[in-house]
Amino acid sequence: MKENKFNKRVPIKTPDSLINHNKTCNYGTFKTQFKCFNFQNYRLFNLPKFIKKHRLTRWEVVEASFGNFMFLGVVYKVGVLSFNMFVLYDNLENKVYNFGTENLFIKKSKIAKTLLNKEVSEKTTKNDSIKFINEFENNKCQVIGHAKNKTDSIIFDFNLLTISEPSIVSIPLTNNNPLYTEKDLMSINGTFKLNGVELFNETHINYAIIDDHRGYYPRKSGYDWLTAMSKVKFNDEVCDFGFNLTYFYKNINQDLYNENGYWLNDKYYALPVVKFYRENDIWTIKDDQGIVNITFKVKNNHLIYKNLLLLKIDYLLAFGSVNGYIKTYSGEVINLNEVLALGEKRFTKL
């Protein structure tokens, strides 16, 4: 049998800061949360700090799967652009509820300095708010928020606890554009109400992922992305499971630097580079060694398109189910059968 060979990206000790004193970036896969980022010190074509500040993209997201629902809540900031987004998907009704701020240049977002020491990411407007209280040194995070549109309203309060090792990576999108991401698979307890009706039930399969994201994207860039979280049966054991698969369009060394991987109980395992192939509402995601082979059936979606001359956002958030498999390092197979999932196709000009 042909041996599967790919860079397994063994995590290394996290440095004091993502950006070094000599204005370079530390790239790689890391064991623990960063205490300091110092993006403003990065060389970035030797631009002044106030210009670099307006080039920096930052967001914190909660992706939650509870019962027959999936929810994405995000606070987003890049320069003067700032917004919240809340999207709830009801799998039984195949319905998408969209909430969120459309006033992109009003009321700034705050993004946490780190994911430690109760640092906060938040934004509040007249119609919505979201607040992340990050305490990952104690393996926990609280996410609180509410939102309303013309017909519906939501209110939520999640208490999240880490289940597994984190995925923490720093990627060179180009020689001059560093990107950091951290993703954590977490258990979830709390409350989520839609129009006053409680949707959260502790007896269901409930998971969440916190996604912290910071970096200097190239002027034109984007990515394909898919994630899911659920219980799976593996080696006659019911296990906590989740995966994250991303293909960054601009990444100068895909094999060495990527954020692809899966969580199985308390461990996180790297996966190879994958490609996304789309035919109408069917996405096929696979690598060239037969380790990942997943089909994502899109059932519904949420679209954002903004073209403001110097700024363009072309964004698709898709909800559906995945089938297929992921192979372990030893060649065993983790089978996925109708697992609720969400994916993105994103292109930006910033």
20: in domain: no
> What is the pTM assigned to this prediction?
0.95
What is the number of structural domains in the chain?
1
CB atoms closer than 10 angstroms to residue 5: 8
Q: Which among 254, 269, 255 has a CA at the least distance from the CA of 334?
A: 269
Side chain identity, residue 56 = L
109: in domain: yes
136: in domain: yes
pLDDT per residue rounded down to tens, the chain (350 residues):
345 678 899 999 999 999 999 999 999 999 999 999 999 999 988 888 888 888 899 999 999 999 999 999 999 998 778 889 999 999 999 999 999 765 565 567 899 999 999 999 999 988 999 999 999 999 999 999 999 999 999 999 999 999 999 999 999 999 999 999 999 999 999 999 999 999 999 989 999 999 999 999 998 999 999 999 999 999 999 999 999 999 999 999 999 999 999 999 999 999 999 999 999 999 999 999 999 999 999 999 999 888 877 778 899 999 999 999 999 999 999 999 999 999 999 998 87
6: in domain: no
- What residues pair up with 53 in beta bridges, in sequence order? none
Cβ partners under 8 Å of residue 187, min gap 6: 160, 161, 163, 206, 207, 208
15: in domain: no
Q: Which among 98, 63, 102, 62 has a CA at the least distance from the CA of 82?
A: 102
10: in domain: no
Residue 160 is part of which domain span?
A: 28-349
135: in domain: yes
Q: Which among 50, 41, 6 has a CA at the least distance from the CA of 292?
A: 6
